[in-house]
Amino acid sequence: MKIPLSWLKDFIDLNSLTAEEIARKLTLAGLEVDEILYVGLPMPETAAQGMHSSTKHEFKTNGIAWDREKIVVAEIREVKAHPNADKLTLLDVFDGKQDQEVLTGAPNIFHLKGTGKLEKPIKVAYAKEGSVLYDGHADGQVLMTLKRAKIRGVDSYSMVCSEKELGITDESDGIIILDDDAPVGMPLADYIGDAVLDISILPNMARNASIIGIARELAALTGRKLMKPAIEFKTSGASVADSVEIEITNSELNPRFVAGLIRNVEIKPSPYQIQRRLKLAGIRAINNIVDATNYAMLELGEPLHAFDYDVLKERAGKNKIKISTRTAKDGEKLTTLDGVERKLTSTNVLVCDEKGSLSLAGVMGGSESEVYDASKEVLDAKGIETKPGEMPQGKITSRGKSTVNILLEGAAWNFINIRRTAKQHNLPSEASFRFSRGVHPSLAEQGVKRGLQYMAAWAGGAVAPDLVDAYPLKPKDSVVDVTSQDVKRLLGIDLTLQQIAELLTHLEFKCEIKGDKLQVTAPDHRMDIDEGVVGLADVLEEVARSYGYDNIPTTSMADALPPQVGNPVHEWEEHLRDLLVAVGLQEIVTYRMTSPEREARLVGSGLASDHVRIANPIAPERSVLRRSLLTSVLEIAEKNARAESIALFEVGSVFEPNGNDLPFEPHKLAIVMTGARLASAWDVKDAPNFDFFDMKGRLELLLSGLRLTDISYTAAESTPYLHPGKAAEVKVNGKVVGVFGELHPLAKEKFEFGDSPIIVAEFDLDLLRKLNPTYGIKAVPETPPIYEDIAVIVDASVEAAAVEALIRQTGGKTVTNVRLFDVYVDEKIGAGKKSLAYSLTYQSDKTMTDAEAAAIRNKIVKRLEQTVGAKLRS
Amino acid sequence: MLDKLNEIEKSALESLAAITDQAALDAWRVSMLGRSSELMQVFAGLGKLSKEEKPVVGTEANRVKVALESALAERAEAIKNAALAKSLEEEKLDVTLPGRSVNIGRLHPSTQQLRHVLDILAEMGFQVYTSREVETDEYNFQLLNFPPDHPARDMQDTMYIEAGDRGDNPILLRTQTSPGQIRAMREFAETNPNDPPPIRIASPGMCFRHEQITARSEIQFNQVEGLAVGKNITFADLKGTIADFVRRMFGEGARLRFRASYFPFTEPSAEVDVECFVCGGKGCQVCKNSGWLEILGCGMVHPVVLQNGGYDPKIYSGFAWGMGPERQLMLRNKINDIRYFWGNDVRFLEQF
């Protein structure tokens, strides 16, 4: 919300505080200032100097300061024609000291061209030579210095300014025409110089989406007094109650509805000061009636709606106008004042009369009964020139006549309902912003009165006595008991009841000390204070904010440390990551979201129900939660395919549907390796590519790092995406925990990879984790080992693992290591045969002799001969 | 005879001086000190000399022998040194050639940062508590004091899961790690419902939002949440704990400030800013000229949340805070595009 400081000062004395200081206080109290926009007032030096200043500045700062000497209030006394240019006028401007001829092309002064001396001078913002302003003709905001020039033979030293040139608005079509009472000669910065704070309003601070709300916060933060507005105006004529009645059908949805009447208004532009404040607050100035509703809303926080009373009267015929509120029928239609016909549902609330619907409650008015300014219509339709503020006559539209009598609505709505409706019809508005966050019903009355007061002041007219006010559901004022002990227990500070009361009173809480308790009653603009234990937290938050978070001390927890229990699952996975990193794998973390099509590249297309589906995906390629972690890792490998060596892993969850309940989230490990086995160097070229055994070696290290034994690898011929001859299952204690191998050529084809084989592995971590470590650390033997190599020739079909198992089994515990160091295939050793060469280590508690080793060796050879038909190779 | 010895010594030393390699040196040793050398002939002939001559010549011959041997040793040392110097010279490398690299593994930067955060928290007594990524509306919102249609839900656009009509309790991808607060409190409270034990946990994990993926916004990100619940925990304790954490995380001199804020599950709530460590608070692009960097949100656990977790808010109080490891990394390393994290370009990952 954009808050002009000048407006804030209507309600609180901010003397001696700079815009930055005010912004700092608000920001620390939860009203974060995103930007300070200077519109005339002097800017802090740091901001002006930019980034190289040594002083700290805390806010994004923008805007322009107006030179007090050079930019002043002046008056146009005479309007002449330019001798050489049809589109320019020549003004005689008096700046309080001297007269000056000034050129302008402003369209809103053009109709006076050649008038000569004006009966009533026009007050303007006047900039002298050397002033720094925004270039009115440039796109966007471009600073320029006003220089002497000759335009079409006439000397030009100075100018009358537009809003764009002064930084009040981004665009403007004409010069500023100030209010008649503007003091000629006064520095413009003193007259209308301003700074605007752009404040983010948190969802629980809707009460502060108003000028008075911010002023109230500042009162609490500075200890200064909040000057509440005096709402007073004269009334005349018949009471509004004589001609209008109100009926609320659902008080939950519409706790209160207030309406007031003003007769015989004259629709015209609002005073310039009002227009300027509205514009700085980010609201277009329309006319005095619409502006009055917006101005009162920004000021107090109560959105108002103005009806054309005569339209309502015409619809009511001879009867009293009966305004009712009800929910819409499904399919009912209403054309809102943006001209869109809206199809409604039964959750939408309507404001109606006997003839039908008038507006979408709390969100947007209907077009039929909106306040109508005939002058705009005429201008748009015919391009007829009018003098500012002058009402042209003419009936060229269906309505034809400007609104004369206004019925002004202020109401309270259910914030959840308004939120749903605004979302449903995609109608974010100033009104729905506030109503969807909660506006207290007490503001309805204040708002209507304030609106009527402004209308009477700016549009003439007579306010009818009384208001019609239906108030079926009055919210209970929350009452909360607070003790010093509560404050100590939850905030950690020592405050007396008086001190607590003082902090809260600034925010308009009513406080009464009753014994050792402070009875706190929430003010009637607040909907966010509950009762009981929640109310206590609500009130203590206000105490803390007013006291200042910065003033609360920092302490260490006095409570004893809870028993430390650790998180074995998390710790195990972290250990696993360390092991994977230690064998040279790079960890990646990928999106949980994918699509069945993406996963089908690897695992083939399954059923739609195989995936956990996202109801509102951000894109079709992220429509489901992943089931295959390996696909995710392969996609990243593919993306990095230009790297010479890729060795990636991911540890994370996949998601398996579980009917309409929460899905299962098993944890998986996926590994992908491809490319060069070694890092290349200037003397290492054409390193071999990763293959099956590079992966297997890493997995062996991994499993041994997890202290697992009883590991076996068996050929896995039926994993569809793996090469049938280069794939294995990993079993621990006979249970399959993972699979690995070379990607099947047909699967590989679906990715964009180079020539190198793609080696992948996938493990089920929930299975793996539950296996208990089976070995401890052994003592290192002191006795010398005996090393011996044996090579045996076996049929090619005999698995190496079987041979090794036989060796270990036969050798018993004396054979402490069996390492295959060569596999040799050659016709010399026989067709269909292979030679397996093992290096054996014999070791026992005592020093062994060669003879003892030889005896074991002979046993082993014999066993191999008998069992797998091996022949010792000489 | 003595003249002859002098002659032998002189000529031997002269020829030795000219020798520059080991082979010539070996030949010299054979010819000057070998069995058939002139000097050895002198020793062999000593017996034939007179009683008077014998000691004189013997002594002199010994002196010459010792002199030649020591000259030989000296020469041998010099030749060895020269040869070594030569071979060292020949083995000289171009030390500017690049080193031979090793392909090593690394943790993903997010994991590294998560560990950094969790390590600090562990030392402060906050133990890791992990919970599921797909959650119910109840756990992600309602029990955390976000009623259906509450405006606070606007702060978090949610991705929902197709799961039939579950009424007010749809399934969703958690938008925050806070559901873990409820799960943890309930788990702890269950152990002793009448007098639930105190809690100090850190919940790390992936969270999800319905956003467009841009340089500034992501659909998934890690969060770490801290939670302390006990009978005697205050806002001042929250400030003290955060100050400890920030000191460890951002350094001894890191200034911080607490700014009032709003989260449905805490009250009072605050956002914590640290003084921008890039510019020292003077204002720069990283801190958007504010001098401060927003690093975490925190607050006293809302009474409704305590209640929902099985802790009586009249007796217990607590605080919670949440922060984003990726954001911390981005600020620390001036990374301006959050998409790097799940993009997993190895050229990015290798830098951590």
Which residue ranges make up each domain of chain B? 2-90, 109-349
Contact status of A533 with chain B (Cβ, < 8 Å): yes
| B151/A205 CB distance under 8 A | no
Q: Say which residues have a Cβ less than 8 Å from residue A61's Cβ, sequence separation at least 6.
A: A35, A36, A37, A38, A43, A44, A47, B289
Cα R_g (chain A), whole angstroms? 42
Whether A292 and A432 map to the same domain: the answer is yes
Q: Specify if A235 maps to a domain.
A: no
- Give B177→chain A minimum CA distance, Å: 16
User: Are A178 and A201 in a shared domain?
Assistant: no
Q: What is the dihedral of CA A40, A44, A50, A55, to 10 degrees?
A: 180
pLDDT at A443: 96
pLDDT digits 0-9 by tens, A647-705 = 999 999 999 999 999 999 999 999 999 999 988 888 877 889 999 999 999 999 999 99
Helix axes A484-491, A532-547, angle to 10 degrees: 70
Q: Is the peptide bond before B268 cis (omega within 30 degrees of 0)?
A: yes
Whether the CB of B303 is below 8 Å from some CB of chain A: the reply is yes
Helical H segments across A208-261, by residue range: 211-222
A747/A805 same-domain check: no
CA dist list (Å): A651 to A295, A654, A822, B119, B174: 58, 10, 35, 20, 19
pLDDT tens by residue, A96-143: 999 999 988 888 988 888 888 999 999 999 999 999 999 988 898 999
What is the per-residue pLDDT for A702?
96
A558/B232 touch (CB, cutoff 8 Å), yes or no:
yes
Q: Does A568 touch chain B (CB under 8 A)?
A: no
Out of A55, A565, A590, whose CB is closest to B342?
A590
pLDDT at A325 exceeding the cut of 90: yes
B93 in reach of chain A (CB within 8 A): no
Indicate if A272 and A246 belong to the same structural domain. yes
For residue B340 the two structure tokens come to: 């790097």
CA distance B38 to chain A (A): 55
Annotate B91-109 with b (16+ C-beta within 10 A) or e (fewer).
eeeeeeeeeeeebebbbbb
**Subunit contact A489:B105, Cβ cutoff 8 A:** no
Do A353 and A442 belong to one domain? yes
Which residues in chain B touch residue A613, judged by CB atoms under 8 angstroms apart?
Answer: 161-162
Residue B46 CA, distance from chain mean position: 79
Q: Which residues, other chains included, contact B296 with Cβ-Cβ below 8 Å and sequence gap of 6+? A: B242, B271, B272, B321, B322, B323
Q: Note whether residue A562 is domain-resident.
A: no
**Distance (Å, whole) CA B350 – CA B339:** 16
- Contact indicator for A327, A349 with CB cutoff of 8 Å: yes
Give the count of alpha carbons within 13 A of A493, CB side only: 23
Number of structural domains chain A divides into: 6
Neighbours of A114 (CB within 10 A): 10
Q: Do B260 and A592 touch (CB under 8 A)?
A: no
Question: CATH number, domain at A316?
Answer: 3.50.40.10
Q: Domain for residue A233, yes or no?
A: no
Closest by CA to A114, choosing from A81, A92, A87, is A81
User: Closest partner residue to A203 among B152, B198, B244, by Cβ?
Assistant: B152
**Spatial separation of the C-alpha atoms in residues A546 and A585, rounded to whole Å:** 54
**Percent with pLDDT over 70 in chain A:** 95
Q: Decide if A832 is inside a domain.
A: yes
B141 CB near a chain A CB, below 8 Å?
no
CATH class of B109-349: alpha beta
Residues of A in contact with B239 (CB under 8 A): 549, 552-555
- Integer Cα distance of A856 and A811 in angstroms: 6
Residues of A with Cβ-Cβ distance to B231 under 8 angstroms:
559
Cβ under 8 Å to B: A residues 422-481: 436-437
| Residue where one domain finishes, among candidates A451, A470, A489 | A470
- Inspect the interface and report whether the beta carbons of B103 and A640 lie closer than 8 Å: no
Whether A386 has a pLDDT exceeding 60, the answer reads no
Please write the tens of the pLDDT for every residue from A462-485. Answer: 999 999 999 999 998 899 999 999
How confident is the model over A235-246, as pLDDT tens digits?
Answer: 999 999 999 999
Highest mean pLDDT among A628-637, B8-17, B329-338: A628-637
Asked whether residue A509 carries a pLDDT value surpassing 50, the answer given is: yes
pLDDT at A399: 55
CATH number of residue A91's parent domain: 2.40.50.140
Q: Which residues pair with A730 in a beta bridge?
A: A713, A738
In this structure, are residues A34 and A199 in contact, taking their beta carbons and an 8 Å threshold?
yes
The C-alpha of A614 sits at a distance from chain B's nearest C-alpha, in angstroms, of: 4
Compute φ and ψ for A63, nearest 5 degrees.
110, -160
Asked whether the beta carbons of residue A556 and residue B237 sit closer than 8 angstroms, the reply is: yes
Nearest by Cα to B75 from B7, B8, B22, B9 = B22
Query: Which helix (H) or strand (E) element contains residue A81?
Result: strand A71-81
Chain A residues with beta carbon closer than 8 angstroms to that of B289: 51, 57, 59-61
The pLDDT score that the predictor gives to residue A165 is 95
Nearest residue to A446 (alpha-carbon basis) of A283, A294, A304, A307: A304
Give the distance between the most distant pair of CA atoms in chain A. 133
Q: What span, in angstroms and rounded, lies between the C-alpha atoms of A612 and A117?
A: 80
Q: Do A309 and A326 meet the contact criterion of CB atoms below 8 Å apart?
A: no
Q: Are residues A319 and A370 in the same domain?
A: yes
Per-residue pLDDT tens digits for B279-296: 887 778 788 778 888 999
Angle A632-A634-A636 (CA atoms, 0-180°, nearest 5)?
75
Cα A871 to its chain centre, rounded Å, is: 75
Last-in-domain residue among A736, A770, A804: A770
Q: Which helix (H) or strand (E) holds A606?
A: none
User: How do beta strands A735-743 and A462-463 pair?
Assistant: unpaired
* Shared-domain flag, residues A14 and A112: no
What value of ipTM does the predicted structure carry?
A: 0.87
**Separation in Å, CA A500 to CA A223, A480, A497, A861, B301:** 13, 13, 5, 93, 22
Per residue in B68-118, pLDDT (tens digit) is 999 999 999 999 999 999 999 999 999 999 998 888 999 999 999 999 999
Q: What is the pLDDT of residue A395?
A: 31
Is residue A681 classed as helix, strand or coil in its secondary structure? strand
- The 8-class DSSP code of residue B121 comes to H
Contact A627, A654 (CB under 8 A): yes
Across A219-228, average pLDDT: 93
CA distance A222 to A28: 13
Interface test with chain B among A207, A439, A557, A673, by most B beta carbons within 10 Å: A557
Mark whether A15 and A75 lie in a shared domain: no
CA nearest neighbour of B245 among B277, B222, B272: B272
From chain A, the residues in CB contact with B125 under 8 A are 561-562, 564
Contact A592, B208 (CB under 8 A): yes
Q: Which distant-in-sequence residues (6+ apart) come within 8 Å of B304 by Cβ?
A: A534, B145, B313
Chain A, chain B: beta-carbon pairs less than 8 Å apart: 291
Question: How far does Cα A202 stand from its chain's mean position?
Answer: 12
What is the C-alpha separation between A690 and A742, in angstroms, rounded?
Answer: 10
Q: Please answer yes or no on whether A564 and B127 come within 8 Å at the CB atom.
A: yes
Interface of B with A in 209-228 (CB under 8 A): 210-213, 219-220, 228
Both A34 and A79 in one domain: the answer is: no
Interface residue B270 vs chain A (CB under 8 A)? yes
Cα three-residue angle A75-A78-A79, rounded to 5 degrees: 110
Instruction: Give A611-659 as a DSSP string.
Output: SEEBSS-SSGGG-EE-S-HHHHHHHHHHHTTTSSEEEEEEEEE--EEET
Which residue type does A461 have?
A: G
Residue A563 within any structural domain of the chain: no
- % pLDDT > 70, chain B: 99
Task: Give every CB contact of residue A749 below 8 A, 6+ residues apart in sequence.
Answer: none
The answer as to whether A778 is a domain residue is no
Whether the Cβ atoms of residue A200 and residue A183 lie closer than 8 Å to each other: no
Whether pLDDT at A457 is above 50: yes
Mean pLDDT of A774-783: 83
User: Are A354 and A276 in a shared domain?
Assistant: yes
The angle that helices B325-333 and B109-123 make with each other, rounded to 10 degrees, is: 110
What are the residues facing A89 on neighbouring strands? Answer: A81, A104
Asked which of A378-382, A659-663, A730-734 is least confident by mean pLDDT, the reply is A378-382
Which of B128, B146, B162, B174 to substitute to test the interface with A, most A CBs within 10 Å? B162
In a shared domain, residues A652 and A599: yes
Token pair, residue A88, equals: 């320019």
Asked whether A241 and A30 are in contact (CB, 8 A), the reply is: no
Helix (H, G, I), strand (E, B) or coil at A417: helix
Whether A557 maps to a domain, the answer reads no
In sequence order, the β-bridge partners of residue A197 are: A3, A36
Query: Residue A374 pLDDT more than 80?
Result: no
Q: Which residues of A touch B213 (CB under 8 A)?
A: 618
Q: Which domain holds residue A860?
A: 786-872
Residue of A nearest to B232 (CA): A559
Distance separating alpha carbons of residues A440 and A434, to the nearest angstrom: 10
Minimum-distance CB partner of B105 among A561, A562, A586: A586
Residue type, B162: E
The Cα–Cα gap between B73 and B346 comes to 61
| A 645-664 near B (Cβ less than 8 A) | 645-648, 653, 655, 660-663
Of B106, B200, B239, the CB nearest to A586: B106
Domain final position from A413, A448, A470: A470
β-bridge partners, A673? A647, A759
A490-499, A537-546, A783-792: least confidently modelled range: A783-792
Strand extents, DSSP E, A86-210: 89-94, 99-104, 116-127, 132-134, 143-145, 149-151, 154-156, 159-160, 194-199
- Dist CA B111 CA B285 (whole Å): 27
Nearest CA-CA partner of A495 in A554, A561, A551: A551
Q: Are residues A436 and A366 in the same domain?
A: yes
Tokens of B125: 């007594």
Long-range (24+ apart) CB contacts under 8 A made by A401-404 are A401/A372, A401/A374, A402/A267, A402/A372, A402/A373, A402/A374, A402/A375, A403/A265, A403/A267, A403/A289, A403/A308, A403/A309, A403/A310, A403/A371, A403/A372, A403/A373, A404/A263, A404/A264, A404/A265, A404/A309, A404/A310
CA distance B150 to B135: 18
